[in-house]
Structure 1
């Protein structure tokens, strides 16, 4: 029970400054990447799930799966952009179950 209580408290704890900064950088990178690539060919679901991740403060569990060539292009660009800002490649919310 003690472990469950600690987990619940951790989930309710406010995000630290680096987490907030990473999310702000990710949101800006998303805007910049979409401006560069455009939205043509990017699936609406991919865009919406990415926005949902951002609205969560970039802490919601995510497994946003690219389906189209443009989805992959956006995911690749965002991964490179976030790594250039000092984030680990594991920060981005992309991944597929299969």
Structure 2
């Protein structure tokens, strides 16, 4: 009877340790996906928003704040010109093709 209790305790400990390890792995995977999305977004923005691209200063500043936050801050980057809208559309397609959801993207205009 005593051996059975020890085995039950041991099995419980193994179960808890396994659960903790799986939870940590899940958090690590989520963090690495967030980091990967941000790296992709940053690289795509460099490739698509260079000099003479027609992006306004406020647009670029707000997007840079989003990137500097690790792409996690809810900073709204509102495209207000045709060039900014074209850029936001291209970035959205590139990111969605990589598996990011639209809710990841900062492109949003506040209702006024």
Q: 1:74 aligns with which of 47, 63, 87?
A: 87
In 2, Cα distance between equivalents of 1:43 and 1:34: 11
Displacement of 1:40 after TM fit? 3.7
What residue in structure 1 maps to residue 75 of structure 2?
A: 62
Displacement of 1:48 after TM fit? 1.0
Q: 1:85 aligns with which of 70, 75, 98?
A: 98
Q: Which runs of 4+ in 1 moved over 3 A?
A: none
Structure 2: state its 5+ residue gaps.
1-27
In 1, Cα distance between equivalents of 2:59 and 2:79: 7
List per-residue Cα deviations over 1:53-76 (Å, max 9, x = no partner): 001100111211111111101110
In 1, Cα distance between equivalents of 2:52 and 2:106: 18
Q: 1:29 aligns with which of 38, 44, 63?
A: 44
Q: 1:50 aligns with which of 49, 55, 63?
A: 63
Q: Which has the higher contact order (CA 8 A, sep 6+)?
A: 1
In 2, Cα distance between equivalents of 1:20 and 1:58: 8
Quick one: structure 1 residues 66 and 85, their matched pair in 2 at CA, closer, same or farther if it must change by over 3 Å? same
Which structure shows the bigger proportion of residues in helix conformation? 2
Displacement of 1:42 after TM fit? 1.3
